Amino acid sequence: MPDDPTLSALLADAVRRLTAAGIDSPALDAGYLAEHVLGIPRLALRRRGAEPVALAAALSFEALLRRREAREPLQRLLGSWEFWGLELLLGPETLIPRADTETVVEAVLKRRPERTRPWRILDLGTGTGAILLALLHEYPQATGVGVDLSPAAAAVAARNAQLLDLAQRAGFVAASWADALDGCFDLIVGNPPYIPDGEIDGLQPEVARHEPRRALAGGIDGLDPYRHLAGELVRLLRPGGLAVLEHGAEQGPAVAALLRTAGLHGVETVCDLGGRDRVTLGHA
């Protein structure tokens, strides 16, 4: 790498290399990395392309670029990612929040439009706390509990609550689903593991190599967590309460059947923005 390359030359080389590595959005990823290392807003990168980049900064950029070429997720290189307009820290034991999961939040808000009600919310498999924290952001009088099997993930979620000034209304515990909980909740949400165990290694390298496997693996058919949770939803929802669970695009009918069999009513499946089945909900 030459001394003090220009920003435009640095980005052009990065886009070329990321394209060769099979990255779907090479220019976007290069822009995010440059913004992260150089502190230059992505929208200003082209305008400032003739500026030289100090060698130390160029070397830092190169180190992250090599990791991205090796298919380490962009979000993990940045250390945080946005969900529902909220910036969330990531950890090794947390999934990267995905836009598809915002379908859970949208489904809740549509069916519970009373924003000032003091809803009590339970988020099962909370990870970064994304779903719970998004709902607490939208419902300023609500309180919630996030549960994750990983103590490290629960700690990341608690830190995110602090950074978003939501810690006084959110608690996080490390436990196996709702096994250690009692009481009644108005809303239960979650994004359980739903990938069939035998399919994980065939996923994109960013997922197969770098996402926590136990947050992906849903058993032989991907439905083991839903079989366990269906009865728990009935136990923990107060009368009239709402449960909303994310699942895979082909799993809507099976999840709906499990919720109906457990005793929930008004069960329906909702599509994401891509038109794929993404969440199934039911009422106590």
pLDDT tens track for 60-87: 999 999 999 999 999 999 999 999 999 9
> How much is the average pLDDT of 169-182?
93
> How much is the average pLDDT of 252-281?
97
Instruction: Give per-residue pLDDT as tens, 181-224.
Output: 988 999 999 999 999 999 999 999 999 999 999 999 999 999 99
Cα 82–chain centre separation:
9
Residue 211, classed as helix, strand or coil, is coil
Q: Has residue 253 got a pLDDT over 80?
A: yes
> How much is the average pLDDT of 124-133?
98
pLDDT band at 3 (very low <50, low <70, confident <90, very high): low
* Whether residue 101 is found in the same domain as residue 49: no
What is the per-residue pLDDT for 180? 82
Mean pLDDT, the chain, rounded, equals 96
* Whether residue 234 is found in the same domain as residue 125: yes
Is residue 1 assigned to a domain?
Answer: no
CB 217 within 8 A of CB 198: no
* Whether residue 247 is found in the same domain as residue 278: yes
Q: Has residue 165 got a pLDDT over 50?
A: yes
Q: Cα(211)–Cα(213) distance, rounded to whole angstroms?
A: 6
Instruction: Give per-residue pLDDT as tens, 196-205.
Output: 999 999 999 9
* Whether residue 52 is found in the same domain as residue 174: no
* Whether residue 111 is found in the same domain as residue 232: yes
All residues at 6 or more sequence positions from 44 whose CB lies less than 8 Å from its CB, including other chains:
none
> How much is the average pLDDT of 4-32?
96
What does R_g of the chain's alpha carbons equal in angstroms? 21
Q: Has residue 4 got a pLDDT over 70?
A: yes
What is the per-residue pLDDT for 144? 98
Where do we find the tokens 């090479």? 26
Q: Please list, residue by residue across 49-82, b when 16 or more beta carbons sit within 10 angstroms of its beta carbon and e when fewer do.
A: eeeebeeebbebbbebbeebeebbbbbbbeebbe
Write out the residue range of the structural domain in which residue 192 sits: 80-283
Which residue, 21, 38, 70, sits at the end of a domain?
Answer: 70
Which residue, 15, 45, 70, sits at the end of a domain?
Answer: 70
Domain at 231, CATH number: 3.40.50.150
> How much is the average pLDDT of 246-252?
97
Helix axes 252-262, 224-236, angle to 10 degrees: 40
CA neighbor of 15 nearest in space, from 75, 57, 61, 55: 61
Number of domains present in the structure of the chain: 2
Is residue 269 assigned to a domain?
Answer: yes
Q: Cα(200)–Cα(64) distance, rounded to whole angstroms?
A: 25
Q: Cα(29)–Cα(165) distance, rounded to whole angstroms?
A: 29
What is the per-residue pLDDT for 1? 45
Q: Cα(98)–Cα(104) distance, rounded to whole angstroms?
A: 11
Helices in the chain by DSSP H: which ranges? 7-20, 26-38, 55-69, 74-78, 102-111, 130-138, 151-163, 205-208, 224-236, 252-262
CA dihedral 155, 160, 165, 166 (to 10 degrees): -70
Which residue, 41, 70, 99, sits at the end of a domain?
Answer: 70
Is residue 159 assigned to a domain?
Answer: yes
All residues at 6 or more sequence positions from 50 whose CB lies less than 8 Å from its CB, including other chains:
6, 7, 8
Q: Has residue 2 got a pLDDT over 60?
A: no
Q: Cα(66)–Cα(150) distance, rounded to whole angstroms?
A: 29
Q: Cα(203)–Cα(209) distance, rounded to whole angstroms?
A: 9
What is the per-residue pLDDT for 182? 86
Helices (H) and strands (E) counted in the chain, each on its own, are 10, 9
* Whether residue 94 is found in the same domain as residue 29: no
CA dihedral 108, 109, 112, 115 (to 10 degrees): 140
